[in-house]
Structures are given as structure tokens and as C-alpha cells.
Structure 1
Amino acid sequence: MIINFSDYSANQRYHLMTQTIIPRPIAWALTLSDDELAKKDNECKFNLAPFSYFTAVSSKPAILMISVGKKTTGEAKDTLVNILNHKKIVIHIASEQQSELVTQTAATLAHGESELDLINLNESVDNSLLSTVPFEGFSLPRLEQCDIAYGCELYEIKEIGDIPQTLIFVEVKQVYINDKVTELDTRNRVKVHADMINPLARLGASEYAGITKPFTKKRPE
């Protein structure tokens, strides 16, 4: 089967791309919302949303990229609004066991409503809660339940396409890694055990996947 993309609409292209670029890592992104009611109550509201158009871009500087579309209303998504306002974001790597929670945070809420509040009020979600803890040395907290979290600052934003799609480039300032999933290798480098993290991967449509048992292949000299 050969498919000519010029014959396909944007939605059809998206449907095919998300089924063939697999598996994709998920950026579970936490940002600070500007909510007038929260300000009056002297509280912080955090937006939490998953993005599978996500990748590492470079290591010097250490740049990650997430691609953000629009809400169904055509408005900018809260993650984009929040990072434009505050320039900070925490990107988590979720586990396969958190797939239901990740899916719940994909819901479209009014700006200022927190997905964390929604999940913690919904007893049907695996009886699981999400809580934040201080991210040492960073201004935003991280999710206590995730083994990996990147504390990032806005680096650059680019808009592409006719809709347009927004590419958010962020610079990693620090990384939290749960000590339970790491050890030092023979070269005194941090070895992260992927099988212990069991990261959640995105496939097409409503499909997700975990990982198989890791295996090693040495690169040629």
C-alpha cells in the first residue's frame, strides 16, 4: 500500500502518522495556571496534560520539544498559555500502570481548572491519587508518583502549518530520577533501569503500550 499524503486531509494524515510512528514517548506536562479565583484564595492551580508529539532535540543545550495543537474550540491549550506566562514546565515520564490517570488528564477543562483536582475527586480512577512534592532547586513541584521528572524553562516557540501547530522547545535545567530505578555503571555513569520504570508509550487511536524486556546490542566501532 502506497499512500500519497497530498490526497489526504490533515485529520487523515494525523490518524496514519500516529499509527505508524510507534511507540511514542509521552510528556506528562505540569504547568502553573493563572486562575483569578485561585489568586484570591492564595492558592496555586496546576495544569497537567499528556503530549505524545514529544522528543529530545539536543544535549548542548539540553532541549526537549513538545508539539501542541488547539482545543476543539480553536483556543490555545492551557499548557501553551501557562508556559508563555510563566516560562516553566515540569515534564514527567509516566508508567504503564498510570495509563488511566494519563488518559484522564487529556480531558478538556476550562482554563484554571486543575486535572489534579479532577482526578483526586474521581474515586473511579483506579482508586489512585496524584500528589505534588517540592522539586528541589526548581520553582514548580513535581508529581510524587513519577520516577522521572524534568524541570525545564522555555527556550523557544515556533508555529508551523495552517492551523497552526505550536512547537514548544524547553531547556532542561535539572532532572529528578528515583534512586530506586538507578545505579552507577562500570564507568561511574548513572544507569537508569527502563524495565523498573516501565514507561507508558503511545500508539494510534486509543491504544497504549508498555515495553518488552530490554536487550543490549553493541554499536560497531
Structure 2
Amino acid sequence: PSGESKDTRANLGEGEHCVVHIPQVTQMQEVSDSAATLDYGDSELERLNLSLESFEGFPLPRIKESPIAFGCKVAKVIEWGETPQALILLEIEQAFVDDNYVGEDDKGRLKIDAKNLNPLARLGANEYASLGDVLSLARPK
């Protein structure tokens, strides 16, 4: 409302590292609570009783309770508009996927079991979405 950048935006400049977490639908309340307007430096993690653990091969930790995490480097920041807005492009350097959500496809390749994971999607304002039906369609040869 004040037009000031939230902590995440304020902390990200080109070349900076960050971790993007993919929560589950069951974590919707924690995700919503993490969006509270706090003073700079006040930690959402402490308020939500979430914990950090080392992220092997990446300089920043990840949230232990998150089933998927991507260790990223900011590739580009594109700002526009009268009200400061930014599109932040990230390069994934490292990935973590909880083994409980990994399976194999019919060709023996690893894949994320999206239905079992049931990831949470943020639509905007107070709205979120789940996957609902997971559809599958073979690619043409």
C-alpha cells in the first residue's frame, strides 16, 4: 500500500542468490501468513515456526518443511510502470525435491508426482489454487 518494496524485492538485485519454494496445498495458511507486512529484518520464519537447513551445493539454506526448493541466481530485473513493479528472471542453479514426491515415468525417467505433491498456486489477492485434476496426454512422435 505504501509503494515501498517488500523485503524479497528489496533484497534481490541482479546476480543475487535466492531460493524459491513450492509449497503444498496443506501449507496454504503458512504461505498466507508469510505475506504479513513486517518491519525490515523481522523474520517470517520465526513467527511461523519454520526451520532452515543447508541446501547442498548452494550458498543459501532452504526451508526444511518445503517439499521442493530451487536455488536460483537473479539473471535480470525488468522494472516498469508508475507504481514500481518488477519482473525478476531467475536462473535455477540447484534443485531439491523430497523423495516422497519423485517417481518414474514409463521410460524410467525421474518425474515429480504432481498429484501426490498437490502444489499450491498463488493467484493473487486472497486467492490460491490447487491442481485439481492432473491431465496426461502423450506427445506425438
Return the TM-score normalized by structure 1: 0.59
Q: Displacement, 1:211? A: 2.2
Task: Report the aligned-residue RMSD.
Answer: 1.9
Work out whether 1:76 is the aligned partner of 2:22. Answer: no
Instruction: Give 1 or 2 for the bigger CA radius of gyration.
Output: 1
Q: Which runs of 5+ in 2 are unaligned?
A: none
Structure 1, residues 77-106: CA drift from partner, whole Å, max 9, x if none?
211221229701000101000000000011
| Identical aligned residues as a percent | 42
SS class of match (1:110)? coil
Mapped to 1, the partners of 2:14 and 2:140 lie a distance apart of: 46
Structure 1, residues 36-73: CA drift from partner, whole Å, max 9, x if none?
xxxxxxxxxxxxxxxxxxxxxxxxxxxxxxxxxxxx22
2:45 corresponds in structure 1 to: 116
SS class of match (1:75)? coil
Structure 1 segments, 4+ long, off by >3 Å, are none
Work out whether 1:106 is the aligned partner of 2:29. Answer: no
Q: Which has the higher helix share?
A: 1
2:134 corresponds in structure 1 to: 214
Amino acid at match of 1:143: I
Residues 165 and 142 (structure 1), Cα distance of their counterparts in 2 relative to 1, 3 Å cut:
same
1:191 corresponds in structure 2 to: 111
Q: What does residue range 55-74 of structure 1 map to in structure 2 within 5 Å?
A: 72-74=1-3
SS class of match (2:27)? helix
Return the TM-score normalized by structure 2: 0.89
Q: Which runs of 5+ in 1 are unaligned?
A: 1-71, 121-129
Work out whether 1:166 is the aligned partner of 2:86. Answer: yes
SS class of match (1:99)? helix
Work out whether residues 18 and 60 of structure 2, in 8 Å CA contact, stay in contact via their aligned partners in 1: yes
2:102 corresponds in structure 1 to: 182
1:24 corresponds in structure 2 to: none
SS class of match (1:84)? coil
Number of residue pairs matched by the alignment: 141
Q: What does residue range 6-21 of structure 1 map to in structure 2 within 5 Å?
A: none
2:24 corresponds in structure 1 to: 95
Work out whether residues 15 and 75 of structure 2, in 8 Å CA contact, stay in contact via their aligned partners in 1: no
Mapped to 1, the partners of 2:44 and 2:84 lie a distance apart of: 25
